[in-house]
A and B are shown apart, each in its own frame.
Chain A
Amino acid sequence: MSHNELKIQEKKAANPAGETTKSETFFPARGHLRVEQEVTVIADLPGVTPEGLDLSLEDNILTIQGRRTLPAQTGRVILEEYESGHYLRRFTVAETIDTRTGSRPRSPTACCVCACPRSRRYSRRIEVKLG
């Protein structure tokens, strides 16, 4: 077991422009790391299935959107510590990244990964496959 003790991270509300939704939308936490010739983006999207995940890359803006189907409420909630909703995160990808190459989700959990060797700008929708 690692010595790092994880702390609870509060979700930050996102404001999806031009979109109306009754559910809350949050920023998923993310990180990106570089392994040799790839840049990998990892995002926390708990509760989002591969079908509910939408990745797109346009004008060097990578958009991660996760839609979550909330389970039907069957009983009385006694204690609720976290909010559930959809996820949205947009960020600029460096122009040195080749956006024409693939994407692959990672572990069996709801993390998504976009791997891109480098080159120049392009616009495309990224297909999500179960890893």
Chain B
Amino acid sequence: MVTAELPGVRVEDLELAIEGETLSLQGKRDTARGQANLSYHRREIEAGSFSRAVALPVKVDPEQGGARLVNGILTVTLKKASAATPRQIIVTAAQEG
């Protein structure tokens, strides 16, 4: 699971991609969308684009998983690829004979 704080970013302005073991986040934030004739008295919040590549610790299945953007928090849930999932091997004793 990967979480990111993305306040002010709209779902339609966000792009996620998985390539190999890398998760890419790309998007933009436009704080003044649709507002004409405005002037800032003070501005601490920046607008612009961002991109980030996150190296995942294991291989994931790109076909499974999902992402949610709720209250400015992005949560990406990815499932491990079957090859990366630990598998228990049952040992059976051969009868001597």
- Are A33 and B41 in touch, CB under 8 angstroms? yes
- Are B7 and A46 in touch, CB under 8 angstroms? yes
- Complex: A110 Cα to B5 Cα, angstroms: 10
Judged by a CB distance under 8 angstroms, whether B64 is at the interface is no
- Chain B contact-residue range equals 20 to 34
Chain A interface, >50% SS class:
loop
- Complex: A92 Cα to B3 Cα, angstroms: 34
Interface residues, chain A, with chain B CB atoms under 8 Å away: 1-7, 9, 29-36, 39, 42-49, 74-75, 78, 82, 107-111
The residue in chain A whose Cβ has the minimal distance to the Cβ of B46 is: A6
- Complex: A1 Cα to B73 Cα, angstroms: 21
Query: Within the complex, what minimum Cβ distance (angstroms) separates B15 from chain A?
Result: 10
Q: Determine the chain A residues whose CB is within 8 A of the CB of B57 once the complex forms.
A: 78
- Are B47 and A4 in touch, CB under 8 angstroms? yes
- Are A47 and B72 in touch, CB under 8 angstroms? yes
Query: Within the complex, what minimum Cβ distance (angstroms) separates B13 from chain A?
Result: 9
- Are A110 and B71 in touch, CB under 8 angstroms? yes
Judged by a CB distance under 8 angstroms, whether B79 is at the interface is no
